[in-house]
Amino acid sequence: MGNLTGKTALVTGSSRGIGRAIAERLGREGALVAVHYSTGADAAEQVVESIEKEGGRAFAVKAELGVPGDADTLFGGLEPRLKDRTGTTDLNILVNNAGVMAMGAPEEVTPDMFDRMIAVNAKAPFFIVQRALRLIPDGGRIINISSGLTRVASPDQVAYGMAKGALEQIALHFSRHLGKRRITVNSVAPGSTDNGSALFQISEVRETLSQLSTFGEVAEPAAVADVVAFLASEDARWITGAFIDASGGTLLG
Ligand code: NAP
């Protein structure tokens, strides 16, 4: 029995990277996990299989985020599957992890690029939270995956940093809104985390990113997933409205 047995969780963007590690960790703790994806159907199925292989329960749900009607598409897929598996549409844990990142000189950011950053990284999570509130019972958990780049200057990622800054506001304002229901709302900020992309295989890049952390390494996704699992647990019931630095000491200055 894990400490999330009997709970349900939705992890957006859990077909790969940090989201995958979060889904697998919550699955190991006993939660029934909705593995959300957009384009990676096979990858999402593999995550479901890996959770089931460990004795957990999971299913995949598809929705492109950052487009009109995204939250409705997501919950339109989620609710019947929850009902089918549990008899209710209760959602105990929502992890807004899906995100897009882009790099480029601030002078080169176009209105379309900027709009997409905001649409996927800030607007979609807001409306997912708004929509999820119908399903989240008292004592639920909302965890938003931000970035250390809301605290460390990186001019080539200004639009991304702005979008993540907006995302973090959800924890501040919704934690006050939902306190009476004992629903906690927090932000987790990873630093450089090996999400399996080719970037992390380039040794010079990896070395540079490693040196940003006081531990001299880039994170494995599991290091971030463990922090999320703690926030999802009963032990974290008194933490809300918080910004949790999970950057391996990148933000020490
Ligand atoms: P990743 O490996 O690039 O995976 C992104 C995930 O989000 C995928 O599952 C992808 O789904 C989904 N996704 C992306 N755009 C989407 C869209 N428009 N609609 C629906 N789903 C979408 O990401 P990651 O590096 O693990 O990052 C996860 C989170 O941590 C992000 O919010 C990121 O900003 C944050 N973060 C990452 C790092 C890092 O170093 N990795 C550092 C700080 C913060 P499909 O593949 O199925 O399309």
Whole-number Å distance, alpha carbon 7 to ligand 1 midpoint, is 24
**Residue 70, domain CATH:** 3.40.50.720
Task: Report if residue 28 sits inside a domain.
Answer: yes
Closest residue by Cα to residue 225 from 182, 193, 199: 193
CA angle 87, 62, 244 (to 5 degrees): 85
- Integer distance in angstroms from the first to the last C-alpha of the chain? 41
Q: How confident is the model over 175-195, as a mean pLDDT? A: 98
pTM over 0.85: yes
Counting from 1 in the atom list of ligand 1, the atom nearest the Cα of 41 is 47
Task: Report if residue 80 sits inside a domain.
Answer: yes
Digit-coded pLDDT (tens) for 224-250: 999 999 999 999 999 999 999 999 999
Chain centroid to CA 119: how far?
15
Q: How confident is the model over 14-29, as a mean pLDDT? A: 98
Q: How many percent of the chain have pLDDT more than 70?
A: 100
DSSP state of 118: H
Counting from 1 in the atom list of ligand 1, the atom nearest the Cα of 44 is 47
What's the confidence (pLDDT) of residue 65?
99
CA 175 → CA 4, 98, 170, distances in Å? 21, 21, 8
Contacts of 53 (CB under 8 A, 6+ apart): none
Q: In what order do the strands lie in the sheet containing 141-145?
A: 57-62, 32-37, 8-11, 93-96, 141-145, 184-190, 243-246
Nearest-10 Cα torsion for 237, 240, 242, 244: 30
Whole-number Å distance, alpha carbon 123 to ligand 1 midpoint, is 15
Q: How confident is the model at residue 178 (pLDDT cuts 50, 70, 90)?
A: very high
Cα separation, 180 vs 139, in Å, equals 9
Q: How many CB atoms lie within 10 A of CB 80?
A: 12
Residue identifier of the C-alpha nearest atom 10 of ligand 1:
13
Task: Report if residue 3 sits inside a domain.
Answer: no
Digit-coded pLDDT (tens) for 65-95: 999 999 999 999 999 999 999 999 999 999 9
Q: How confident is the model at residue 50 (pLDDT cuts 50, 70, 90)?
A: very high
Domain hosting 107: range is 8-252
Task: Report if residue 41 sits inside a domain.
Answer: yes
Scan for tokens 């006050």, then name that residue. Answer: 176
What's the confidence (pLDDT) of residue 227?
98
Catalytic site includes residue 160 = yes
Digit-coded pLDDT (tens) for 121-162: 999 999 999 999 999 999 999 999 999 999 999 999 999 999
If one counts the domains in the chain, the total is 1
Pocket of ligand 1 (CB under 6 A): 13, 15-19, 37-40, 64-66, 97-101, 120, 145, 147, 190, 192-193, 195
Task: Report if residue 1 sits inside a domain.
Answer: no
Task: Report if residue 2 sits inside a domain.
Answer: no
Cα separation, 167 vs 120, in Å, equals 10
What's the confidence (pLDDT) of residue 1?
73
Q: Which is the catalytic residue, given 160, 195, 240, 250?
A: 160
Whole-number Å distance, alpha carbon 21 to ligand 1 midpoint, is 12
Q: How confident is the model at residue 253 (pLDDT cuts 50, 70, 90)?
A: confident
CA angle 252, 95, 211 (to 5 degrees): 25
Contacts of 210 (CB under 8 A, 6+ apart): 192, 216, 217, 218
